Chain A
Amino acid sequence: MDSEQTLPVIQVRGLVKTFGSFRALDELDLTVEAGEVHGFLGPNGAGKSTAIRVLLGLLRKDSGEIRLLGGDPWSDTARLHRRLAYVPGDVSLWPNLSGGEIVDLLIRMRGADPAKSRRDELIERFSLDPTKRGRAYSKGNRQKVALVAAFATNPDLLILDEPTSGLDPLMEQVFNDCVAEHTARGATVLLSSHILSEVDRLADRVTIIREGRVVESGRISDLRHLSRSKIVATLTGVVPDLAGTPGVHDLAVDGRQVRCTVDPQGLPVVLAALTAAGVEALTSSPPTLEELFLDAYRDRVDAGR
């Protein structure tokens, strides 16, 4: 048990999945450590859902290595699935079953007992009406049905594919609390999203993918460190010419005000130049995840040219 605790919960190396001539996953790597919330980021069509479906044994990989909870998701499917809960991005329910029936069905199908689960409490917290039929639920409410079923038991791994896309802000807060409660008891969470603020708030580490490949992966704090800072300075003296300085991007000079983004290694030179010119006001902000995200893509596009 101990050795399993230290092994990554998800380990993917060089995963390739093609649909005809389309390469949906192109040598994808993904490591999710036990007990972390791992943000899985990427624009629409980047391959997030495809990767998750391979992890769930729904799609067959073309090549690459996958370990999930110490097993092979293709051959040990049913055994592994007792230990995880999955919420798809677009939840489709049986039109003639009620929400409560579906919640209990999914819990039972994972081998747990709804009566001993937190289903009632969660139905309350998510303000879900469990007596409505599947066809009568809105998108957000369909998502709540899947979320209640997933959060009601104590799975080792939660795989959540854009789980809040239909939820209102109040329900997003409930969702965040639920994720926090599950990580507090030691569960691992793979959270796919393109809502960056959500990942920023919840995730310890992120993997950013695009066109089936990883473009960035690591701790959010490390990625921030690696990335540019945004600097806005109002100077008292003559504005120095920073155009040629290594690591300076997006330079804009408006009278005595300078705006630019700076790579970490360029910061000392830029700060020295600004100080020498006499600083009246200076703000330096770390990049938001949005900027980090855009950065990752821009670099890819630049590298591609």
Chain B
Amino acid sequence: MTSGSATTGWPLLLRLALRQDRILAPVSIGVLVTMSVASAAATPGLYASEADRVHAGDAINASPAIVALYGPVLDVTSVGELSMTKMTVLYAVFVAVLFVAVVRRHTRVDEESGRTELVGGTSIGRDAPLAATVVESVLLAVTLGLLTAAGNAVAGLDGVGSLAFGAVWAGTALVAAGIGAVTAQVSASARTCAAFAAGVIGLLFVLRAIGDTGPQWLSWVSPLGWNTQVRAYGDQRWWLLLLYPALAALLFTVAVVLRGRRDLGSGLVPARPGPATGSPRLADALSLAVTVHATTIVLWTAAAAALGVVFGMIAPGIGDLLDSETAQSIIDELGGALVAAILSVVAVVLTYFAVTVVNHAGHDEADGRAELVLATAVSRNGWFAASALVALVGTAWLLVVTGLGLWVGYVAADGPGIGNLLVAALAWAPAAWVVGALAVLTLAVGVRWSALVWAWPAAFLTLTLIADLVDLPGWVEGLSPYSHVPSLPADEWSWGSAGGLSAVAAGLLAVAWWRFRERDIG
């Protein structure tokens, strides 16, 4: 793949990378394995008899929206497949996000910050950072796969099946690392690279969603579709597992070739020169925050609209199901009504927009850009409010776009009336605000905590999932703001929930503001 000299020194960089990830990697892998094991341990108890399981599996397969979200249950008699319904595809996306983040962190982010240049000045080969990252990804992927397999087996699922399932997650991780490595070559901006990677993963998810509910060949195009087709807990197709490392190797090779064709610090897409003067509108903290996040907002808006339309078009058929009382009750057991199930996931994902904005503010502070701004006539309050405003209003905007997309897709597919999808989407805004406000508060406590903001939505998602499966006390589940949102359009809009969550968000913001105006900057 590469000459020896170009990768000289990679073991040293590997040790450095593992040291940098010594908290991120174990915690993330631990959370993912915990979710899988919790599902594996709890689901069989919920569906004691085979008849129950077949009934539940049939109900999932009968509802296009749930299949679009989780993929079909190929063997309805299998305990393992039912237990891993959410894990196989949807939570594999979180696996993918983790590995893209790890790869990006050690490639483009280091390059943008100049750390790669620092390393490049030593006797370390040009491709060594990429090589070290690839080796680290393989190590972490294998670790994740083995731990998941062992955990599921210990939790009571079939041992061979668990091994296959662990391999599916490890394979997803490898492919995601490959996607991260390729997209890291494309642009000089680490954020643009992240957007490309997210776009690719989103596309793979949507291709699979369409394939699973329509033309099946599309599912085979997407590695996320393979996850279901391996049939880890059914009649395993072991040969399919070879596709993951093959695709990953191809992607890594492409990354190395692309890397060889560009200069350090540049992208494949050459950076265009910017304007020589600033727009008069770019004059305060808010316009700065909007300008800095403009590309991100456009990309997220496009993604939210596309996802909304796709799921909106898949969703019809829901109406028929909602008529059937038995189907309704089974669907409720799976975590909410159909559109509500989609929205409950979308709401968590969109909360990550707020998180990236707050995290960005943290980077601005740690790197000294906040200092540059705060040394002008811009007040602390102004700087702080700008980030909080973009984060929270942006998330609400994205929910509106998703709701409109759902409605457009739904109407285009001739769906029966199921109520106002825009309101259904907006109902999640107060919960997203609470989590966004928690992120803001985390930054306000101190900039050294700002990396923790990523953990909030994931923590609440994990809590909801575990609460679905295990009999937790009500107040523990209630800790998650998402748990207080009524499942529109199946349920009624609740002013109490919306008002209460908004009040909590406002309270958190007030505490954050009070703390931020008193603390040291930097």
Contact = CB atoms under 8 A, between A and B. Distances in A.
B273 A108 contact: no
Nearest to A58: B521
Contacts of B112: 95, 135
B378 A109 contact: yes
B368 A130 contact: no
A78 B291 CA distance: 22
A204 B518 CA distance: 36
For chain A, what secondary structure do more than half of its interface residues adopt (helix, strand, loop), or is it mixed? mixed
Contacts of A104: 277-278, 282
B376 interface: yes
A155 to B, nearest CB: 10
Interface string B181-193: 0000000111100
A127 to B, nearest CB: 14
A271 to B, nearest CB: 51
A131 to B, nearest CB: 4
Nearest to B370: A58
Given A59-B520, A78-B379, A97-B291, A92 B367 contact: yes
Contact of B282 (A56, A84, A105): A105
Contact of B368 (A77, A79, A90): A90
A264 interface: no
Interface string A139-170: 00000001000000000000100000000000
B277 A114 contact: yes
A92 B372 contact: yes
A109 B377 contact: yes
A159 B382 CA distance: 22
Interface residues of B, number: 42
A108 B277 CA distance: 12
Interface in A49-105: 53, 56-60, 77-79, 81-82, 84, 86, 88, 90-105
Interface string A193-210: 000000000000000000
B375 interface: yes
A101 B277 contact: yes
B271 A136 contact: yes
A77 B375 CA distance: 8
A110 B284 CA distance: 9
B276 interface: yes
B410 to A, nearest CB: 37
B329 interface: no
Contacts of B283: 105, 108-109
Interface in B476-522: 518-522
B332 interface: no
B369 interface: yes
B295 interface: yes
Contacts of B282: 101, 104-105, 108
A238 B382 CA distance: 76
Nearest to A90: B368
A53 B372 CA distance: 11
A59 B112 CA distance: 29
B377 A110 contact: yes
B188 A78 contact: no
A230 interface: no
Nearest to B382: A78
A82 B275 CA distance: 26
B446 to A, nearest CB: 12
Interface in B428-476: none
23 contacts: A58-B375, A58-B521, A60-B518, A60-B519, A60-B520, A77-B380, A78-B377, A78-B379, A86-B375, A88-B371, A97-B291, A100-B274, A100-B276, A100-B277, A105-B278, A105-B282, A105-B288, A108-B280, A109-B376, A109-B378, A114-B277, A133-B274, A159-B375
Which 5 pairs, one residue from A and one from B, show the smallest C-beta to C-beta distance?
Answer: A98-B274, A104-B278, A109-B376, A131-B273, A108-B283
Given A77-B380, A104-B278, A105-B288, 20 more contacts: A53-B522, A56-B374, A59-B521, A78-B377, A78-B378, A82-B377, A86-B372, A88-B368, A92-B367, A97-B291, A98-B273, A98-B276, A99-B274, A100-B278, A109-B373, A133-B271, A135-B112, A135-B189, A135-B265, A136-B265
